[in-house]
Amino acid sequence: MELYKTNQLKIYNSLSKSKEIFKPVLEGNVGMYVCGPTVYSNVHLGNVRTFMSFDLIFRYLQHLGYKVRYVRNITDAGHLTDDDAEDKISTKARLEKIEPMEVVQRYTVDFHEVIKKLNFLPPSIEPTATGHIIEQIEIIKDILAKGMAYEINGSVYFDVLKYNETENYGILSGRKVEDSIENTRALDGQSEKKNPQDFALWKKADEGHIMRWPSPWSDGFPGWHLECSAMSTKYLGKTFDIHGGGMDLKFPHHECEIAQSKVNNHVNPVNYWMHANMLILNGEKMSKSTGNFILPNEIFTGENNILSKPFSPSATRFFMFQANYRSILDFSSAGIEASEKGYLKLIEAINKLDKIEISSSSSIDIKAWKQKCYDAMNDDFNSPVLIAQLFEAVKYVNLLLDKKETLTVDDLKEFKATIHTFVFDVLGLKNEVEQDSSDKINGVVELLIKMRKDARDNKDWALSDKIRDELAALGIQLKDGKDGTTFSVN
């Protein structure tokens, strides 16, 4: 690892709008928190892209030798897109006439099954919002005691305008409270909040609301933004290294997290804010609310109206890395088909690595090529540039097989190890391509030749002739000689 110093890793920080040299809170130890799914419906491919981006980051950090504590939560309560609305899980339970925890269980299982198929590494900790109600209540008490929140009719709201007197609500997104005041719809008479910008820390449950917990203020449930502050700081400390999520979470979700945590702990909670960009379909963002989405299982089975055929999990995963995590990626039938061809080409080259013969000298600078692979990933996890270097390796494989280039035993060993590291360990692909079918055919014919020899030794001429004639009918001619039997294919 001497050639690839971990302190050369550059991360794009959404807070500073620049790439910075990565400096973990504790040298060698990294704390990373990623906002997980709200489990009220099946996870779609746009959701998966975000989690896959951070799976790549998790894998690479571990490969570099960091000890990573990766926390990815499950939102199983309190997801309010509007403080005056019902949370998504309760809405789903009411519509389907089942318990909210049935909804949670069903879609948590679905989420885990999907990401397992896509070969995700499990996070170090996967906490749930409902498992941390006590911690959230304690944070609310503290924010109230510091005068940055207020209680009305059993609900508690964070006072954004008061906070903004001494801090900067909008530091992450670049939004100004003054602008949001002008652009916010009039809520006079419709909301109990002092100001439209204020957000719920605790909501009193209406009579028909199923999910509720006791608190000093009412039987109710926590606000969506609060859960991540509670769980991230519990497992990673008051300040940790990386907080990730989808681009759509930057405002208001992550902005609210910063405000809550700064009031509660008096420090900036996160060193590096990282956001994965959108996956678009039909020119628009994938979204459950608009119906513009595709489920991963629909891709694997081919049961959809978008794609021409099914695609494997690894081909799908390979497609997702064709763009840097911060760039918009357009999902289309043509796009994933092209990606599948590239994936097959890459794996077929890997399957031929053992056929390369060693030489007394090397005509390819493997160390320089290897460094380019690391340079790509060290530059804010630039997966498309890494993939370009892997296709350069495919060219090398073909040239080596044709004996137009040469490698020594040590260089060949390093070449193989590097390819396997980046394809399987870092990108997380699987070898879903069978070995060259000609190798299998040759093996089967050799087995039949042996069986025929045994038949002849046992004077079973009928079986011997049957094997010869059946192979001949398939275009495989046997030729007996003093050194044994050989075959040719017509």
HEC profile for 201-252?
EEEECCCCCCCCECCCCCCEEECHHHHHHHHHHHHHCCCEEEEEEEHHHHHH
Residue 458: inside a domain:
yes
Domain that includes residue 232, residue range: 24-280
Listed residues 406, 426, 446: the one ending a domain: 426
Q: Is residue 312 part of a domain?
A: yes
240 shares a domain with 365: no
What pLDDT is stored for residue 183 in this prediction? 46
Residue 149 is assigned to a structural domain of this protein = yes
pLDDT at 2: 41
What CATH number is given to the structural domain containing 412?
A: 1.10.730.10
Q: What's the token pair of residue 295?
A: 């489920």
Q: Is residue 289 helix, strand or coil?
A: coil
Would 431 be classed as within a structural domain? no
So what's the pLDDT on residue 190? Answer: 52
Say if residue 93 is in the same domain as residue 228. Answer: yes
Tell me, yes or no, whether 362 and 273 share the same domain.
no
- Round to whole Å and give the CA distance between 24 and 268: 14
pLDDT of residue 189: 39
Q: Are residues 345 and 414 in the same domain?
A: yes
Q: Are residues 34 and 67 part of one domain?
A: yes
Mark whether 198 and 141 lie in a shared domain.
yes
Q: Is residue 296 part of a domain?
A: no
Q: What is the reported pTM? A: 0.87
Q: What is the pLDDT of residue 188?
A: 40
| Residues 381, 455 within the same domain | no
Last residue of a domain, one of 426, 461, 480: 426
Q: Are residues 211 and 329 both part of a single domain?
A: no
Same domain, 191 and 84: yes
Pairing of strands 149-152, 329-331: unpaired
What is the number of domains present in the chain?
3
Residues 248 and 149 in one domain: yes
Q: 43: buried, middle or exposed (CB in 10 Å: 19+, 13-18, 0-12)?
A: buried
How big is the CA angle at 109 (ends 105 and 115), to the nearest 5 degrees? 150
Report the DSSP pairing between strands 279-281 and 240-246.
unpaired
Give me the pLDDT at residue 338, please: 97
Q: pLDDT value at position 182?
A: 47
pLDDT at residue 434 in the model: 65
- 121 and 244, same domain (yes or no): yes
Q: Which of 481, 374, 413 is nearest to 6 (CA)?
A: 374
Same domain for 177 and 88 = yes
Residue 298 inside a domain? The answer is no
Q: What is the CATH number of the domain that holds 53?
A: 3.40.50.620
Of the candidates 251, 249, 269, which has an alpha carbon nearest to the alpha carbon of residue 260?
A: 269
Residue 292 within a domain: no
Residue 289 belongs to some domain of the structure: no
pLDDT value at residue 436:
52
Take residue 147 and report the two structure tokens written for it.
């005068």
pLDDT along the chain (490 residues), means of 10: 59 93 93 96 96 98 97 89 72 89 96 98 98 98 98 97 96 86 45 92 89 96 95 98 97 97 97 97 86 95 94 98 98 96 97 96 98 98 98 98 97 98 98 67 83 90 90 85 78
Q: What's residue 260's pLDDT? A: 97
